[in-house]
C-alpha cells in the first residue's frame, strides 16, 4: 500500500509513456515524506521504540497505531507483557492494561505497526494534487496557455513547508493532522 502509486501519479499528470517514471518515482517518495510529516505514517511500517513510564498508560510516538506486537522491559529480570492483556488507542498511541493496573519495571522496548490499513481517499487526493504542483517545476517559467499565475501557485510560504505545499493540499490534510507534541 502506498500514499500514491506511479500509475496514479501518471494519471494525475496525464503522462502515458515511461520516459519520466524514474524521476516521477523520486517525486512520489518525496511527497510521501512530506505528507507523513504532517499526518503521521500513511504507509504501514514496523516501529521499535523505547518508552519510559510508570503509571496507567504508555504513550507511543508514531500514530496512528495499527497493531501492537510486543512490550518487553529493558531491565534484566523483567517479564514481557502479553499483548492480549493490553488495549491500544490507535488514534492517540496510548497503551493501557486491560485490568487497569499500572506499568512498572520499565523502560520498555515496544514493537508495533504504525500507519493506516488503507489510504483514505482524501490523503490520496492530497498526494495527487501535491505531485501535480511539484511536477510543474519541470515545465519552467512562462507556462504557455496558463496566462501566468494559476490556482496552483503558492504566493505565501506556509509555515513548515515554505512554497512546496499549496494551501489546497494542506486543507485536505487538515482532518488527519497530528496533534501538537506528536512527532
DSSP structure class, residue 152: T
Question: Vertex 35, ends 38 and 61: CA angle to 5°?
Answer: 45
Environment class of residue 123 by beta-carbon count within 10 Å: exposed (0-12), middle (13-18) or buried (19+)? buried
Is residue 145 over pLDDT 50? no
DSSP structure class, residue 31: H
174 versus 143: which is more confidently predicted? 174
What's the pTM value of the predicted model, to 2 decimals?
0.76
Q: In what order do the strands lie in the sheet with 57-59?
A: 57-59, 94-97, 86-89
pLDDT recorded at residue 105: 75
pLDDT tens readout for residues 110-120: 999 999 989 99
Rounded to 10 deg, the angle between the 121-135 and 6-13 helix axes is 60
pLDDT recorded at residue 163: 65
What is the pLDDT averaged over residues 149-171?
A: 66
Amino acid at each position: 500500500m502506498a500514499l500514491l502509486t506511479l500509475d496514479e501519479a501518471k494519471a494525475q499528470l496525464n503522462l502515458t509513456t515511461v520516459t519520466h517514471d524514474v524521476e516521477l518515482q523520486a517525486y512520489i517518495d518525496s511527497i510521501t515524506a512530506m505528507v507523513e510529516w504532517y499526518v503521521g505514517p500513511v504507509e504501514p511500517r514496523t516501529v521499535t521504540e523505547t518508552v519510559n513510564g510508570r503509571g496507567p498508560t504508555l504513550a507511543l510516538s508514531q500514530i496512528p497505531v495499527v497493531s501492537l506486537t510486543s512490550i518487553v522491559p529493558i531491565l534484566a529480570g523483567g517479564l514481557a507483557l502479553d499483548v492480549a492483556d493490553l488495549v491500544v488507542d490507535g488514534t492517540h498511541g496510548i497503551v493501557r492494561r486491560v485490568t487497569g493496573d499500572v506499568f512498572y519495571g520499565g523502560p520498555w522496548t515496544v514493537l508495533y505497526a504504525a500507519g493506516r490499513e488503507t489510504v483514505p481517499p482524501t490523503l490520496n487526493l492530497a498526494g495527487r494534487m501535491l505531485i501535480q504542483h511539484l511536477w510543474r517545476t519541470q515545465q519552467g517559467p512562462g507556462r504557455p496557455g496558463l496566462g501566468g499565475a494559476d490556482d496552483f501557485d503558492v504566493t505565501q510560504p506556509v509555515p513548515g513547508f515554505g512554497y512546496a505545499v499549496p494551501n489546497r493540499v494542506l486543507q485536505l490534510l487538515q482532518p488527519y493532522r497530528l496533534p501538537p507534541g506528536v512527532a
